Amino acid sequence: MREEIITSGRLNPNIDPHLEIWHWHIPLYLFLGGLAAGILFFASLYTVLGKENKYIGAVRRAPVIVPFLLIIGLAALFLDLRHKLYFWQLYTTIKIQSPMSWGAWTLMAITPLSFAWVAIHIREFFPNWDWKWTLLKELEKFLVKYKKILAWIILYFSVILGIYTGILFSAFNARPLWNTSILGPLFLVSGLSAGSAVIILFSRRKRERINFAKIDIMLIGIELFLIVHMFMGFLASTEVQIDAANLFLGGPYTAPFWIFVVIIGMILPAVLEFLELKKFHIPVIIPVILVLFGSLMLRFVIAYAGQMSRWLY
């Protein structure tokens, strides 16, 4: 029998025997960022299309949680840094080739924009809200006047935020599992699906809920299509990428991926949403939680499995 034994004298913490440098912070942030991007995408899209009165849940209600999602996500990112006192160095330069850099700048832009969006819709939750200071009142007037422009800007930034969560991984050619451009669209669609699930939860109108259930079923279909393509790409590629795919096809991440992400997080909620469209009575919270769970698990599984995949030499 032909044998190959590799012995390495290196045992650096978090590097060997396999990479474990990114823990829960990164996948949690990617989930929250993707979810925020999904909610903002639909909020700004329906505003741009002039349908804000038809989609009140999407435009006015669901975005209220976005600033919180982004702040928790940013906190997770900050906790992940190991040289925390120097975090401001991120904002001293723009490095086009570094997804981490333009992600930091995108967050810098979209976080205040999400606050502005919630501020101009605050009366949806507090009808008698008063801004007290004239400056804030003037600012609100200004934002309401140019709401369409604001919506266009948020629309662009939400797509960048959604795609960037995947590109952060796919830009690393050292980790063959991540090194596929499918991850960008896959994480974007997964974020949109999570966003539409939260909108279903926030919506008070049946018509809107049904529309978003339809949108979500379509998005889950696209996700499954992208996952199949991801594996086709891996299996038709080099040995290291075939090995990466095998982490999910018999390897240690097979059960977490296919059971938690694909079956519980995608197929099951899509079936429940479909049954709801067929007039079966299903508590809306169940598919919503399953979609969010699937979206979170997708990022956790990809983040951890990716760090196990490597080049062999």
Residue 183: CB minimum distance to another protein, A:
14
C-beta of 172 vs 258, nearer to another protein: 172
Residue 12: CB minimum distance to another protein, A:
4
Residue 227: CB minimum distance to another protein, A:
22
Residue 281: CB minimum distance to another protein, A:
47
R_g of the chain computed on alpha carbons: 21
C-beta of 173 vs 254, nearer to another protein: 173
Residue 3: CB minimum distance to another protein, A:
7
Q: Which residues contact 126 (CB under 8 A, 6 or more apart)?
A: none
Closest by CA to 57, choosing from 215, 229, 259, is: 215
Count of beta carbons in the 10 Å neighbourhood of residue 260: 18
Query: In angstroms, rounded to a whole number, what is the distance separating the alpha carbons of residues 190 and 132?
Result: 40
C-beta of 26 vs 70, nearer to another protein: 26
Please report where in the chains the tokens 């797509």 appear, as a residue: 159
Residue 98: CB minimum distance to another protein, A:
5
- What is the amino acid identity at position 227? I
Q: Which residues contact 281 (CB under 8 A, 6 or more apart)?
A: none
Q: At what angle do helices 206-235 and 285-308 cross, to 10 degrees?
A: 20
Query: In angstroms, rounded to a whole number, what is the distance separating the alpha carbons of residues 205 and 212?
Result: 11
In a 13 Å sphere around the CA of 186, the CA atoms on its Cβ side amount to 27
Please report where in the chains the tokens 């940013």 appear, as a residue: 74
C-beta of 15 vs 236, nearer to another protein: 15
Four-CA torsion 107, 73, 220, 218, nearest 10 degrees: -40
Q: Which residues lie near another protein (CB under 8 A)?
A: 1-16, 19, 21-22, 80-84, 86-87, 89-90, 92-93, 95, 97-101, 104, 171-175, 238, 307, 310-311, 313
C-beta of 11 vs 135, nearer to another protein: 11
Query: In angstroms, rounded to a whole number, what is the distance separating the alpha carbons of residues 244 and 176?
Result: 6
Query: In angstroms, rounded to a whole number, what is the distance separating the alpha carbons of residues 96 and 39?
Result: 26
Residue 255: CB minimum distance to another protein, A:
25
Q: What's the residue count for the chain?
A: 313
C-beta of 87 vs 225, nearer to another protein: 87
Residue 284: CB minimum distance to another protein, A:
38
C-beta of 15 vs 255, nearer to another protein: 15
C-beta of 44 vs 309, nearer to another protein: 309
End-to-end CA distance of the chain: 20
